[in-house]
Structure 1
Amino acid sequence: MAGSTTAERGERQQESSGPPPVRRLRVRRLRVIIILAVAFVLVSAGSVWLLYGSQWLRVERVSVSGTDVLTQKQVREAAAVPVGSPLISVDTDAIEARLRRKLPRIDAVDVTRSWPHGIGLKVTERTPVLLVQKGGKFVEVDDEGVRFATVSQAPKGVPALELTLTQPGSRAASLRRFGESRLVREAVRVAGDIPAAVARATRSVKVRSYDDISLELNDGRTVAWGGAEAGAAKARTLIALMKAAPDARHFDVSAPTAPVSSGS
């Protein structure tokens, strides 16, 4: 029998030196997958241990900023941050809720993690725009009409709110129609629109009815403001009127397009 030709021998050599069998490729791929899976598990386990089990990333300090009337100690105690706990597990929403519940003076609070060992509490306190006298103390009311604190001494530069709604007629009708809370909010709107220079000298904001609100200044001068609408226009008119009649004792800006001043 004739031997193999040169061409046949070349074909056999090419087949023997070709790519590895499919089975060998599958084994190699499986090994790579197993190695990657093990590496992933080890990295994940290490991360979990680092965040939850180690002593490296735990709460060690609580910093407080933004306080004015409140003290940092009061804020820390109300926040009740679990010092010593893993930083990642601290419930920042629960801390915020506790602060708002225990300290109504707080208007807003930002609770942040400060890696690797801190919790930051940045608070914004409510600012009183009116005071409601209650017995020998004063209830502070902010620009949203929220009564947030009772203090024994009236803060300087904050006018008192006087509700004189017990008289018959339209005043009593105003109270029945709008309710005391609504009338307080109207007074708050007026207090927010009073020009800064006048606000510092305002002793009280008096509410007789929904559309009969007036100001009494420290020197005895009075301002008839009317309702809470058109507050910006009334503020501009009042400043101009006071400059035009510096000796007047009474100013009426209830109709800002037709203001009146009187007395001397």
Structure 2
Amino acid sequence: MAGPTAAAERGARQQESSGPPRRRRFRPPRLRVIVILAVALVLLSSGTVWLLYGSNWLRVERVSVSGTRVLTPAQVREAAEVPVGAPLVSVDTDGIEARLRRELRRIDSVDVVRSWPRGIDLEVTERTPVLVMREGREYVEVDDEGIRYATVSRTPEGVPVLDLTPSRSGTAAASLRRFGADRLVLEAVRVAGRIPAAVARATRTVKVRSYDDISLSLSGGRTVAWGSSENGPAKARALTALMKAAPDARHFDVSVPSAPASSGS
């Protein structure tokens, strides 16, 4: 039998070449490549560490203060004790915040922020007095949480004086034993926070006799029997309406807001 022709051989070769492609074998990276990558990683890490801790480019040179009203920026910087010249990345921002709130009780909150490349920003929020308490010839400011935080020589404008003189007998004495002076101060703060704005400007004294016997002394000799701090919004609305209905009255009673009363002229 005759062997395959040339045409048949070419057809067989073409059929073999048109078969599925062969997969390339995975070749692991050569040792030289691994060494180069490892060296590059070490150099990069070392350079980063040196830049953050060893260089003079990222060190504290400036401490800025914002948000102060009564305090001065110099007072805040002194209490903060920011380590000027230290690497910026190593500054203990939580420690600075805790130190400021401990040393300057007037500070309600503070954000300590790294300002790259060379600064620390101290963003301060001061407490706002709601009442003041008399101590001898001076006054202690009290914020809306009942915290006594600063002593001043005179009352801030528009801030009423807290007269905390609970009776030592009867129901008032029982109230004092039950709640304590700090709780009564907090109740007075809550009442002060609910006084309508127009009335607040005329309020001179918030007087506390017991938990449910709180009253206001206004300019012109007017008084308001408020009662306890409960139902504050309803009492504020009742007082506003009562003062409009009886503008010449001298005494107002909103201790029961559903049945307010006024008297005197």
TM over 0.5, shorter chain: yes
Q: Quote the residue 1:10 is aligned against.
A: none
Q: Quote the residue 1:199 is aligned against.
A: 200
1:33 aligns to 2:37 (yes or no): no
Q: Quote the residue 1:217 is aligned against.
A: 218
Deviation at 1:154, TM superposition (A): 1.1
Map 1:104-253; keep pairs closer than 5 Å.
Answer: 104-253=105-254
Residues 20, 204 of structure 1: CA spacing in aligned structure 2 closer, same or farther, 3 A cutoff? Answer: closer
Q: Which amino acid in structure 2 is aligned with residue 141 of structure 1?
A: V
1:76 aligns to 2:96 (yes or no): no
Q: Which amino acid in structure 1 is aligned with residue 98 of structure 2?
A: A
Between the aligned partners of 1:33 and 1:191, the Cα distance in structure 2 is 72
Between the aligned partners of 1:94 and 1:214, the Cα distance in structure 2 is 43
What SS does the corresponding residue of 2:102 show, helix, strand or coil? helix
Between the aligned partners of 2:124 and 2:24, the Cα distance in structure 1 is 68
Residues 216, 21 of structure 1: CA spacing in aligned structure 2 closer, same or farther, 3 A cutoff? Answer: closer
Between the aligned partners of 2:205 and 2:117, the Cα distance in structure 1 is 51
Q: Quote the residue 1:7 is aligned against.
A: none
Identity %: 74
Between the aligned partners of 2:204 and 2:42, the Cα distance in structure 1 is 70
Q: Which amino acid in structure 1 is aligned with residue 231 of structure 2?
A: A
Structure 2: gaps of 5 or more residues: 1-22
Q: Quote the residue 1:13 is aligned against.
A: none
Between the aligned partners of 1:152 and 1:21, the Cα distance in structure 2 is 87
Aligned length: 245
Deviation at 1:220, TM superposition (A): 1.0
Stretches of 4+ aligned residues off by more than 6 angstroms = 19-22
Between the aligned partners of 2:202 and 2:111, the Cα distance in structure 1 is 35
Q: Which amino acid in structure 2 is aligned with residue 243 of structure 1?
A: K
Q: Which amino acid in structure 2 is aligned with residue 150 of structure 1?
A: T
Q: Which amino acid in structure 2 is aligned with residue 36 of structure 1?
A: L
Deviation at 1:167, TM superposition (A): 3.6
Between the aligned partners of 1:20 and 1:263, the Cα distance in structure 2 is 104
Between the aligned partners of 1:197 and 1:248, the Cα distance in structure 2 is 16
Deviation at 1:166, TM superposition (A): 3.3
Q: TM-score, normalised by structure 1?
A: 0.89
How much is the aligned-residue C-alpha RMSD, in angstroms?
A: 1.8
Between the aligned partners of 2:242 and 2:119, the Cα distance in structure 1 is 55
What SS does the corresponding residue of 2:154 show, helix, strand or coil? coil
Between the aligned partners of 2:145 and 2:201, the Cα distance in structure 1 is 20
What SS does the corresponding residue of 1:216 show, helix, strand or coil? strand
Structure 1: gaps of 5 or more residues: 1-18
Q: Which amino acid in structure 2 is aligned with residue 51 of structure 1?
A: L
Deviation at 1:21, TM superposition (A): 11
